[in-house]
Structure 1
Amino acid sequence: MSDDIPVPNKRNNRKRKKSFLKNARKYGKKGYYGRGSQLDSDTYQYFIRIMETYREGFENEEDKIVFANNVFEQTENQEINCSSNQVGCRVIEMLLPFANDNVMKRYMEAFSNEIRPLCSDRFASHVLEALVKQTCEKSLKTLGSADTSETYTQFTIKISKFLLNNLEDYMWDTYGNHIIRTCLRSLSQVSNDTNGSDINFKPLNIPNDYSEIVREYGERIINWPQFNELCNSELTSGFLQDLLRSLKNVDVKLMKLYMKKLLKEIFAAKTLNGEQDCIDVLPPAFLSTSVLMLLETALQLSKPRMFSKFYQNCFAGRLVKLASTRSTNFAVQKLLTCCTEKSDFELIFEELVDHLDDIIQAGHMGVILCIAQACKRLSSKQGSFVQSMMKILNCSEPEERQMHFLLCLCRMVKFEDCKGTESLHKEKLNLHGTLIIQVMLDYNKPIKIINSLLSLENNDLKNLFMNSMGSHITDSFVKGLFVGERSREKLIKKLSGTYQDLAASKYGSRSFEALWSVANLKDKLKIMEELSYKEGSWSNSEYGKIIAGKVNIVLFKRNKEDWKNFLNNTKTDKILAEILK
């Protein structure tokens, strides 16, 4: 192997994680050249330097492609050996997305000849995963010749069908299982990001050959005698989750059959003592982490009718216990996040609303935030939720306590414990509390939270908006659809005398920009007058310089009429930019 390393013209100096590289260098010095297949010292060191060079970055995508294909030239006739080594596998997997057609053909041919052992190989299996993902993506693109596209298609089908025909061998194998899942996701064009509510790519035309293979997987697994075992293992539960996601893109009817089977035989199956109807006994869905993860995925994929069945059979009557328990509160969060019907949400809300304090005391603020978000999303129970939170924090009565609601919620403490605001700008506020405030500012009638905010003393407002978490409240206030124009104007006037401090601080400058974006000309002129007084005291700070440039303080001090023209031109440019989006 050549010792020449392709070097890009220019590299970015970004900091990267170096733990893997550090370990690789350390073991290389001791004469250990990675786990797996043996590499000679020169090849091992070459791969180390390739990783270092890659992680430093490239000037453009073209340089990265040239770099990657030069590296692949050095692996010719060593594809399997390099892929089966700990460091070699990492390099190849990293560069494969930039490989040209000739390199891809070499790797497809090499892996095709040794599929069986490579599917279980600790390192080469990762390269095979990357290879399947790339060949499937390339086969779906119209670029390149028809022959090349067909080559990619045939390789994707070959690997997918091999694993389908040998499911018993690879389903419980850690590495083989993950290749199967990659095949399913690639064939059905499912995104790897499964955290959001929309887990799929924008629907594309899936070739019949691909959808048929996914369907075959689904039809075979649903009739497996070991189906229950699949649900109870973390590895195979992960496979079922990917299968459900894939079927949603390929065969919704088959996915629904899975949902019904899971609900009847797994999630809500009767307990050994026949106590399923007792609300004090949790269904099997909540007694195993692997089954619980499967339930959360099913909730995410279910349509309203199926969602209601999951709720009624697994959650109803047990929500308080589930929300207050560490191992199951995330399932309640998923239930709230995935709820799309107001009728279902109102039932969930009524069951939880009188026990919000218990959930808070259990430390499961994520559940409270999800309730707040569902109130906003479904335009339901917003007033009841606000009132409940005020009662929990002892801010409801007497009426003057309501003015302290925002600060109590920021800190997530009761009225009696919400003392002292001198160091509010440095204080570590409650993350979920500040997020709930931001959600409440988007409610249809956010008057309680607005009044509480506007009742704060001038200095307290400034310190809140200079806080790392508090600064985001400013954004929500100025962007809130139901926050009135007068309320915004009151806030801008109330902050008079604090704008220099806001502009000069890291988080205060964020708040300043948010307020500036909605201020009218009259208020902007007042702010500028305030900023221009001894402007050197704030405009020389790191963040003050940025704000000074954005508001053009130099032009304002020189000629106010020219500054007004500058302001109008900036506004016009923004409007045009929005139109041209």
Structure 2
Amino acid sequence: MVSVGSKALVSRSSMGDHDHESLKQAKSKRRKHKKGGAAHESDSNPKHSNTNSNTFTSPPQGSRVRKQLDPETTQYFSEIANLFETEGVELEERSLICANALQETKGKEFEIATDYIVSHTLETILQGCDVDHLCDFLHSSANDFPYIAMDRSGSHVAETAIKSLAVHLEDDEARPLVEEALTIICKVIAANSVDVMCNCYGSHVLRTLLCLCRGVPLDKSGYYLSKSTTLLAERLNSKEFSKKDDATNFQPGFPNLLKVLVSDMLKHAKKCIKTLQVDQFSSLVFQTMLRVLAGDDEEMLHVIPFLLGCKDKNNAEGNFIDAKVVADLKNLLKESKFSHLMEVVLEVSPEALFNELFTKVFRNYLFELSSHQHGNFVVQALISYARNQDLMELIWEELGPNLEDLFKMGRSGVVASLVAASERLHVNEHKCCEVLAEVVCPVDDSPKGIVPRLMFLDSCFTYDDKSNWSWQSGARMNVMGSLILQTVFRFRSEYIQPYIRSITSMEATHVLEAVGDSRGSHVIEAFLSSGASGKLKRRLITKLQGHFGEVALNSSGAFTIDKCFTVSNLSLRETIVSEVLAVRSDLSKTKQGSYLLRKLDIDGFAANPDHWRSKQASKESTYKDFCSMFGSNDTKLMKNDSFLRDTSNNKSNPNTVKEMRKEIDQSLGSGAPFLSFQNKNPKKEKLKSKRNAYISGDDDESNRKKRSKKEKVESGFDTAATAASGKILKKRRRDGDLSEASLKKVKASNA
């Protein structure tokens, strides 16, 4: 058991401004903590001040002796901890206990916050107290807050206090108190920001403080506090990468206070910026600083050049990067910590600064940087955040002819970023697909091997004789190769014909093995969502016949079954459902089972196959009608090519069509027969008919007349389908999603 009240420990550190030498000395004094012991040596424990005034002064510098926590205080907080563990403490009583306990911390905030055991109880107290006592605690501990933040145990207390402040941001009455306390904490942290940001514990507290000032919800601040684990997937997606939209979910922050905090931090970092650029923990702080300032171009044009080492202010418009720092920057790009910082710089830079960085730093240096173990990630970021076609053309000129060399060096991430950017910006799309296919599969070799070789990208380029390479049965498929193929299948179908022929020529055993692999299954799903014809998609799906139940039980294969079902015709759908029905019991026990059973309507098929077929036929009619109304001309021409044409590749308005598909599924997904009139509510039916009349533009006289047989054939709807589609059309007209042209089209089709 951890003991309480051990002998005082001493550590020394300097707080405040540092030159390069003092910063290195401070870093050399870091010590790893032992898991036992009530008192732990923090990275920096300067001399403690017992000043308890609500106003703060700059914390004293020099040596610091951690005082031993007296037994009475330890016992007092131990009793509070035991009391909180019981379930009989009411909310009001708990708040009163917390308020009294915080009064006991006066003058002993540092010792209590950094005690290994008692600090846990203090965290609970800070979470349960009201805003007045919380702010009072922060006022009284302001002088010690940097030292608390840099302690192993104290950092958790400091972060809990900051998060507790965030809880009260929505309260207008409490906001002035929060802002006052936060202002004091920001000032004292900024005055010692170099020490705090270079400390492994203080760095995290400072990043949390930056997020709070910006208004980032602290329970969803993972992206801002550290590098996102999904960053690669986001970069390879075709969507925009700006985080400005996140601001809609922000809490009310303190933008002026944030700017003051950042300004003071940079002021104190000025003397040692070169050391901070390559420090692990300060790099994380700078990354968070840039992300919370994203969207404020004026601030960015000041902060980013400073972090890149530019000392002089902008001499002229469009001249943000000093020529004398370019050589240093090229070397820094190969440093691990700075490369992470540069990735974020490229992500949030205003376009003018981004273009200048490319021109002065990256141009004619991309291939050399791509070959470096750290620099290649910077190149990936540069490609991913390129915003115009001209810039992408210049990047392609340098890297396009070197795809094979990049693969051989293991820099497939650069190739993946290049392919994704070509698709996103529509630059050299055909050339990109063509060159990639030639690099992976030599011209004199069969194009059937393109997709398999990209699936097993590593073994393909490490194989002695690439022309004799064969399917690596049982081997794990390559992540980057899978991502490249997923991107390729987003290109227009005329550009990717070799890839389509390759995947449809795969042997049935290889297709089954691919859907059983999480990476391979994503490739199959991407193909099923591509612009390839429904006939070719069904050719691939039939290779899984007899194994649909087996695939559905696989965690990754279940989503593939979903895609297969979407693009299949009625007979193939019935085959899928029949095979999945055989494993319904086992499937219901899996994580993905309930979704798949509901999507395929397995229970409905088991209860009444004829009803299930009727329901699917009605959906077919509804989908086709909507595609004819809202789809592009290409979609109309190909609508009969598949039972359910996948319209996700419709370039005209893909999101709208997807949303319609979802709404139709919800509207037509009831358990009653789609053509049945049982249990109809007369009032609802009357309302639906009025809605249909309103949308179709029929006048009162035409509403009283019976629809002609010709109109029924042209519409393709039965009574229930018309009611469902009418409801959706009216909603879209109300929400503004239905354009005037589309509305006229609807009127004309029903005239």
| TM-score, with structure 1 as normaliser | 0.75
Q: CA deviation at 1:208?
A: 6.1
The separation in 2 between residues aligned to 1:39 and 1:408, in whole angstroms, is: 68
Deviation string 1:369-410 (CA, Å, 9 cap, x unpaired) is: 222221222222232222222222234334xx1122111110
SS at match of 2:475: coil
Work out whether 1:131 is the aligned partner of 2:161: yes
Contact 1:322-1:329 at 8 Å conserved across structures: yes
Work out whether 1:257 is the aligned partner of 2:298: no
SS at match of 2:557: helix
The separation in 2 between residues aligned to 1:507 and 1:119, in whole angstroms, is: 43
Work out whether 1:405 is the aligned partner of 2:457: no
How big is the alpha-carbon RMSD for the aligned residues of Structure 1 and Structure 2? 4.4
Q: What residue number does 2:366 align with?
A: 319
Write the mapping of 1:370-389 to structure 2, written as runs, cut at 5 A: 370-389=417-436
Q: What residue number does 1:471 align with?
A: 521
Work out whether 1:339 is the aligned partner of 2:386: yes
Residues 177 and 560 of structure 1: CA distance in aligned 2, closer, same or farther (over 3 Å):
closer
Residues 216 and 527 of structure 1: CA distance in aligned 2, closer, same or farther (over 3 Å):
closer
Q: CA deviation at 1:244?
A: 3.4
Q: CA deviation at 1:84?
A: 1.3
Q: Structure 2: where are the runs of 5+ without partners?
A: 1-32, 42-67, 232-240, 312-320, 620-661, 670-726, 736-751
The separation in 1 between residues aligned to 2:151 and 2:579, in whole angstroms, is: 68
Q: What residue number does 1:18 align with?
A: none
The separation in 1 between residues aligned to 2:223 and 2:470, in whole angstroms, is: 43
Q: CA deviation at 1:428?
A: 0.8
Deviation string 1:186-212 (CA, Å, 9 cap, x unpaired) is: 223355514354456415665464255
Q: What residue number does 1:523 align with?
A: 572
Residues 122 and 560 of structure 1: CA distance in aligned 2, closer, same or farther (over 3 Å):
closer
Contact 2:515-2:521 at 8 Å conserved across structures: yes
The separation in 2 between residues aligned to 1:505 and 1:566, in whole angstroms, is: 28
Work out whether 1:241 is the aligned partner of 2:246: no
Q: CA deviation at 1:102?
A: 5.7
Contact 1:320-1:352 at 8 Å conserved across structures: yes
Q: CA deviation at 1:255?
A: 2.1
**What is the letter of the counterpart of residue 312 of structure 1?**
T
SS at match of 1:283: helix
Q: CA deviation at 1:163?
A: 2.9
Contact 1:409-1:433 at 8 Å conserved across structures: yes
Q: What residue number does 1:448 align with?
A: 498
SS at match of 1:469: helix
Q: CA deviation at 1:344?
A: 1.4
Report the more deviating stretch, 235-244 or 171-180.
171-180
**What is the letter of the counterpart of residue 467 of structure 2?**
E
Write the mapping of 1:114-193 to structure 2, written as runs, cut at 5 A: 114-115=144-145, 117-135=147-165, 137-138=166-167, 140-141=169-170, 143=171, 146=173, 148-166=174-192, 178-189=204-215, 191-193=221-223
Deviation string 1:129-157 (CA, Å, 9 cap, x unpaired) is: 3323442x34542x3x61x2221111001
Q: What residue number does 1:435 align with?
A: 483
Write the mapping of 1:205-224 to structure 2, written as runs, cut at 5 A: 206-207=253-254, 209-211=256-258, 213-214=260-261, 216-217=263-264, 220=267, 224=270
The separation in 2 between residues aligned to 1:379 and 1:506, in whole angstroms, is: 34
Q: What residue number does 1:511 align with?
A: 560
Q: Which has the higher contact order (CA 8 A, sep 6+)?
A: 2
The separation in 2 between residues aligned to 1:447 and 1:71, in whole angstroms, is: 72
Q: CA deviation at 1:329?
A: 1.4
SS at match of 2:223: coil
Match of 1:85 among 109, 112, 115: 115
Q: CA deviation at 1:471?
A: 1.5
| TM-score, with structure 2 as normaliser | 0.59
Contact 1:475-1:514 at 8 Å conserved across structures: yes
Work out whether 1:461 is the aligned partner of 2:511: yes
Q: What residue number does 1:202 align with?
A: 247
Residues 38 and 405 of structure 1: CA distance in aligned 2, closer, same or farther (over 3 Å):
farther
SS at match of 1:325: coil
Q: What residue number does 1:35 align with?
A: 40
Q: CA deviation at 1:557?
A: 5.1
Contact 1:34-1:87 at 8 Å conserved across structures: no
The separation in 1 between residues aligned to 2:420 and 2:94, in whole angstroms, is: 45
Q: Percent identity?
A: 20
Q: CA deviation at 1:158?
A: 1.1
Structure with max Cα Rg: 2
The separation in 1 between residues aligned to 2:523 and 2:414, in whole angstroms, is: 20
Deviation string 1:447-490 (CA, Å, 9 cap, x unpaired) is: 3322211112233222222223212223222333x343343333
The separation in 2 between residues aligned to 1:236 and 1:527, in whole angstroms, is: 55
Q: What residue number does 1:419 align with?
A: 470
**What is the letter of the counterpart of residue 490 of structure 1?**
R
**What is the letter of the counterpart of residue 284 of structure 1?**
N
SS at match of 1:462: helix
Residues 221 and 298 of structure 1: CA distance in aligned 2, closer, same or farther (over 3 Å):
farther
Residues 74 and 402 of structure 1: CA distance in aligned 2, closer, same or farther (over 3 Å):
farther
Contact 2:304-2:345 at 8 Å conserved across structures: yes
Q: What residue number does 2:53 align with?
A: none
Deviation string 1:347-368 (CA, Å, 9 cap, x unpaired) is: 1122112222222222222222
The separation in 2 between residues aligned to 1:213 and 1:436, in whole angstroms, is: 44
SS at match of 2:141: helix
Work out whether 1:574 is the aligned partner of 2:666: yes
